[in-house]
A = this chain, B = another copy of it.
Amino acid sequence: MFEARLAQGSIFAKVIEGLRELVTEATWECSGNGITLQAMDSSHVALVSLVLRSDGFETYRCDRNMSLGISLTSMSKVLKMMGKDDTLTIRVNDDSDAIVLSMESQNQEEFAEYELRLMDLDSEHLGIPDTDYSCVVKMPSTKFSRICRDMAILGDSVTICSTKDGVKFGAKGDVGQGSIRLNQSTNVDKEEDAVSIELREAVALTFAVRYLNMFCKAAPLSNQVNLSMSEDTPLMCEFKVGDMGHIRFYLAPKIEDAEN
């Protein structure tokens, strides 16, 4: 039997919202340590890795390891029915082919329970090498979302150039070209507004902005996003999930064209 209870069910809903555009169905790996998920998007371009540690749940019980094939599309629909401050319990009974999501309103007067059929998915476990990145940019996730949205208006690709003083996002296309530069924050009024750069080596990498915009669906999970980069290595775009884990998105850089 598997049962995990989260007082703030909305966190889980945000996780699903953060994943579902990139990955419509995926296999969840449940063990005593927590829940993990790894998947590539349907065109096998981007990769996502989710970790939710068991100690982040209010209660957590996992008698044996389980692989659960789940439609994130359906799960998202069910989670939309959750009240704003509901407590969420996720349960899989032994020998059941369904996952049960229970939601309790804070005043205990409302109780909803939804059952989703589990799916048989070919689960590709993906080895993600631990990389020592040349550069890690930390910035407000809302700012990153806005920049990616804006760059998408200009073109399909965004080039991220990072030096020790700042980071520049640039795009060009039919409408024109443009770039936005953020300097590393000096006075950190609010931690969450800070832009900080850890840099061993300057980088300049180009990415398909469409995928970055999908990654940004996870932005409501965290005030800050971490962008870790090295030349010729996939970008890692990380959002923390409270203090219980993270979502990490990976995207290989485009090979630079002659004209860039």
> Which residues of A are in contact with B by a Cβ distance under 8 Å?
71, 74, 77-78, 80-81, 98, 108-117, 150, 153-154, 175-183, 185, 195
| Cβ–Cβ < 8 Å partners of A116 in chain B | 175-176
* Cβ 8 A contact of A109, one of B113, B176, B183: B183
Are the CB atoms of B109 and A179 closer together than 8 Å? Answer: no
How far apart sit A183 and B154, CA to CA, in the bound complex (Å)?
A: 49
- In the complex, how many angstroms separate the beta carbon of A213 from the nearest chain B beta carbon? 15
Q: Chain A interface mostly helix, strand, loop or mixed?
A: strand
| Cβ–Cβ < 8 Å partners of A81 in chain B | 150, 153, 178, 180
| Cβ–Cβ < 8 Å partners of A180 in chain B | 81, 110-113
How far apart sit A195 and B153, CA to CA, in the bound complex (Å)?
A: 42
- In the complex, how many angstroms separate the beta carbon of A209 from the nearest chain B beta carbon? 14
| Cβ–Cβ < 8 Å partners of A112 in chain B | 178-181
**Contact sample, A vs B, 23 pairs, CB 8 Å cutoff:** A74-B175, A74-B176, A77-B153, A78-B175, A80-B150, A81-B150, A81-B153, A81-B180, A108-B183, A109-B183, A109-B195, A110-B180, A110-B182, A111-B180, A112-B180, A113-B178, A113-B179, A113-B180, A114-B178, A115-B176, A115-B177, A115-B178, A117-B176
